[in-house]
Structures are given as structure tokens and as C-alpha cells.
Amino acid sequence: EIVLTQSPATLSLSPGERATLSCRASQSVSSFLAWYQHKPGQAPRLLISDASNRATGIPARFSGRGSGTDFTLTISRLEPEDFAVYYCQQRSNWPGFTFGPGTKVDLK
């Protein structure tokens, strides 16, 4: 089973700052990795697919990069609505997949 590790567990930042979130896989997942934003009481929202492709309607301040075992989600300038939990999802054994434990981006 491929295990995903996300760091840091919590990221405390202010609006306008840059957020860099990391996701590491226990073995290579090629580029089969997605990122989701999750706010309390809402459904998760797809941000990035295939490591670096922004989903429909996702602002350009969200970007993803990486391949193999190391991936990064960057939010270039945090907006107030970006404070949430972010999950990576590996899809190398699709249609099954696993999620990382999440990174919480909260207000400093």
C-alpha cells in the first residue's frame, strides 16, 4: 500500500503570504497525484490533478509540481478564503486511491 505523508501538519500564515505544502509518497506514483481543499461542513474541492494541472475554475494562485515521490502545492498569495485543510491523493492504483493526512492552513 502506498502511504502519503504531508508536511507540515499545520501552517500558520497571514493573508497575502505564500503557502508551500509538501506531500511525499512511500513509493513512486509517477504524476498520478491530486490536491484537494476541504473546509468544515463542505465537500472537498479538487484543485490540482496529475500533479500540476489546475482543475476547472481554480485560481492561478494555486499551483502544483512534482513527480515520483515528492510533490508540492503552492498558494502564491493567500486569500481569506484559502484557509482550509489540504489533502493530497495518490491515484497510481486507480480506480483505488489513498489520501494523505492533510495540512491545515490557518490564520496566524
Partner 1 sequence: QLQLQESGPGLVKPSETLSLTCTVSGDSISSGPYYWVWIRQPPGKGLEWIASIYHSGSSHYNPSHKGRVTISIDTAKNQFSLRLSSVTAADTAVYYCARDRRITGTTHWGQGTLVIVSS
Binding residues vs partner 1 (CB under 8 A): 1, 34, 36, 38, 42-46, 49-50, 55-56, 87, 89, 91, 94-102
In this complex, which beta carbon is closest to partner 1, that of residue 78 or of residue 88? 88
Give how far the C-alpha of residue 12 lies from the chain's centroid of Cα atoms, to the nearest Å. Answer: 16
In this complex, which beta carbon is closest to partner 1, that of residue 37 or of residue 69? 37
Beta carbon of residue 38, minimum distance to partner 1 (angstroms, whole number): 8
Q: What is the largest CA-CA distance in the chain?
A: 38
Beta carbon of residue 15, minimum distance to partner 1 (angstroms, whole number): 26
Asked if 83 contacts 11 with a C-beta cutoff of 8 angstroms, the reply is no
Q: Which amino acid is at 72?
A: T
In this complex, which beta carbon is closest to partner 1, that of residue 41 or of residue 80? 41
CA dist 78 and 76 (Å) reads 7
